[in-house]
Amino acid sequence: QVCAQLCRRPCYCPWVPPRCPRGSPLVLDGCGCCKICARRLGEPCDFLHVCDQSQGLVCDYSAGTGATCNFEDGEEGCEVNGRVYRDGEVFQPSCKLQCRCLDGGFTCVPLCQEDVR
């Protein structure tokens, strides 16, 4: 019933899809109608403005002051260069660094000794 109230048929979408910020893919809105930029960790969301499910994000209504995108199981995460990493996940933002997401922050160690020419 909520869907029927919010979703107009036929769909009326802009001719040109929006340009999304880095790390935010184009997805269909909550009506399955128009392409929008997926919301990222901590961003506001609702039925129409959906979270980036490819990053494991869902619209979390538990705060009571408005919904925001959060991890499905409520664990902490890190956003680095527009990409979201889960708590405990190890990643390489460059060929010279290896990082680990931990409790909403991240720590990195160098993979290379000093550059030798």
Per-residue pLDDT tens digits for 13-46: 888 889 998 888 999 999 999 999 999 988 999 9
User: Are 58 and 15 part of one and the same domain?
Assistant: yes
SS3 of residue 6 by DSSP? helix
- Compute the distance between CA of residue 16 and CA of residue 53 in angstroms, rounded to an integer: 23
Q: Is the residue at 116 inside a domain?
A: no
Tokens 């408005």 identify what position?
A: 66
Query: Could you tell me the two tokens for 15?
Result: 């001719």
User: Are 14 and 65 part of one and the same domain?
Assistant: yes
In residues, how long is the chain?
117
User: Are 88 and 66 part of one and the same domain?
Assistant: no
Identify which has the larger pLDDT, 90 or 79: 90
User: Are 53 and 106 part of one and the same domain?
Assistant: no
Q: What CATH number has the domain bearing residue 28?
A: 4.10.40
In this prediction, residue 3 carries a pLDDT of 43
Q: What CATH number has the domain bearing residue 82?
A: 2.10.70
pTM across the whole model: 0.62
User: Are 59 and 93 part of one and the same domain?
Assistant: no
User: Are 26 and 54 part of one and the same domain?
Assistant: yes
Structural domain span for residue 17: 1-73
Band the pLDDT of 52: cuts 50, 70, 90.
very high
Band the pLDDT of 49: cuts 50, 70, 90.
very high
Q: Is the residue at 12 inside a domain?
A: yes
- Compute the distance between CA of residue 34 and CA of residue 26 in angstroms, rounded to an integer: 10
User: Are 5 and 62 part of one and the same domain?
Assistant: yes
In this prediction, residue 4 carries a pLDDT of 46
- Compute the distance between CA of residue 82 and CA of residue 96 in angstroms, rounded to an integer: 19
Nearest to 36 by CA among 48, 22, 44: 48
Report which listed range, 4-18, 30-44, 51-65, 103-117, is most confident.
30-44
